[in-house]
Amino acid sequence: MNVKNFFNPRNILILVGVGIALVIPLIFKAGQYTMLLMTTVLLYAILASAWNIIGGMAGQLDLAAAAYLGLGAFTTGTLLIRWNITPWVGMIIGGLVATLLAMLIGFPLFGFKVKELWYALSSSALVVVMQSLFMMWNEVGGPTEKYLPVGTSPWYSLRFNDYMPYYYIMLIILVVVLLVNRWIRYSKLGYSLLALGEDEDAVEVLGVNSQSSKLKALAIYSFICGVVGGIFASIYGYVHPAFFDTSMSMEIAILGIVGGMGFIYGPALAAIVMVSFREVLRASLGSQLAGLYLAVYAIILIVVALYQPRGIAPLVERGIKKAQTYFVELTRGRRADIKSS
């Protein structure tokens, strides 16, 4: 890798962002509520970035994120409660179980080339079905919470007295998911997915297997959701059918769309900005004017949809390109000054 090419404005901005995220809890000594808020923001950033693989690149309006997250949470929680299996293992198993469910749903839907609207309805219905199933399945779920044991070792049971460890775990996962997004985006699979999102019939004529490509994207997306579901259960200390939340699935899709479908960092950026703003509004206005923060949140989404239909990522990209041009011109100017002197 060329060192000069690496230290460009885009990568410098990313490194600065990661650096700030690393030191914020340490410098400002954030309280427990603030740490939970920042951890929640990272959770949505991960899920929105995972959704970008199936929704942004493949062009499938998937609304089943909460189904995979909830299944991962229940798998991890059940393994810990019944057999004392550490969540570090449980979350991987949860991711695999979520992937299996996604394949059972995705194989016939993609095989019959179900259109985007019907795929969206089918994936949304999956969340409702899973919630009803676990509400009636008393051995694993049921209408009451199933609390996770703390255990003797916090790192074994993934149950901490404060939220800071969860924050850093989520931050690491977010970086990994963004790298996965970047790898897919510039791989053969990524080019196939982007082409399928534009015109599936035309791409199939060129020999691309649309079902196989979409299933791969769905598998990666659902696995990430399932893994994060295991940490989600550990953060809250229990599992409950309410984890299968259709509104959460819709919000994740909205963040992916607002961030910029197919853009690597757009959905994560949208999640960081929008979820932070939402939580601040809810904390400051929720007790006085219940529901007002939802109206403000909706207005912001409408404005973005009207004036930046491709999402906020292209706007950021243009800003980065301008900064890169300025950086290059500044470097050339300095070199010219050195030569003239």
DSSP 264-292: SSHHHHHHHHHHHHHHHHHHHHTTTSTTH
Give residue 283's pLDDT.
Answer: 75
Lowest model confidence (mean pLDDT) among 11-15, 21-25, 130-134: 11-15
Decide if 109 contacts 122 (C-beta within 8 A).
yes
Tell me: pLDDT of 290 over 70. Answer: no
Q: How confident is the model at residue 262 (pLDDT cuts 50, 70, 90)?
A: confident
Q: How confident is the model at residue 112 (pLDDT cuts 50, 70, 90)?
A: confident
Half-sphere exposure of 147 (CA within 13 A, CB side): 3
Q: How confident is the model at residue 329 (pLDDT cuts 50, 70, 90)?
A: confident
Give residue 169's pLDDT.
Answer: 95
Q: What is the mean pLDDT of residues 15-44?
A: 84
N residues, the chain: 341
Q: Supply the pTM of this predicted model.
A: 0.90
Look at residues 184, 176, 254, 175 and name the one whose alpha carbon lies nearest to residue 217.
184
Give residue 10's pLDDT.
Answer: 62
Q: Give the SS3 label for residue 5.
A: helix
Q: How confident is the model at residue 210 (pLDDT cuts 50, 70, 90)?
A: confident
Give residue 333's pLDDT.
Answer: 65
CA distances from 256 to 47, 118, 166, 273 (A): 9, 19, 23, 12
Q: Give 240-250 pLDDT, tens digit per residue.
A: 999 999 989 99
Angle at the Cα of 309 from the Cα atoms of 278 and 202, rounded to 5 degrees: 130
Tell me: pLDDT of 20 over 90. Answer: no
d(CA 213, CA 198): 14
Share of the chain above pLDDT 90, in %: 50
* Partners of 117 in the β-ladder: none
Residue 311 phi/psi, 5-degree rounding, is 100, 175
User: Which residue carries 């609207």 as its tokens?
Assistant: 117
d(CA 323, CA 35): 32
Domains of the chain, residue spans: 32-340
d(CA 175, CA 25): 17
User: Which residue carries 């810990």 as its tokens?
Assistant: 80
Q: Give 169-192 pLDDT, tens digit per residue.
A: 999 999 999 999 999 999 999 899
Burial per residue of 109-121, b for 16 or more beta-carbon CB atoms within 10 angstroms, e otherwise: bbeeebeeeebbe
Q: Please state the separation of Cα 201 from the chain's center in Å.
A: 29
Half-sphere exposure of 222 (CA within 13 A, CB side): 28
Q: What is the sign, positive or negative, of the torsion defined by CA atoms of 246, 249, 251, 257?
A: negative
Tell me: pLDDT of 1 over 50. Answer: no
CATH 1.10.3470 correct for 32-340: yes
Q: What is the average pLDDT score of the chain?
A: 86
Q: Give 139-154 pLDDT, tens digit per residue.
A: 888 888 899 998 778 8
Q: Give 296-309 pLDDT, tens digit per residue.
A: 767 877 887 788 87
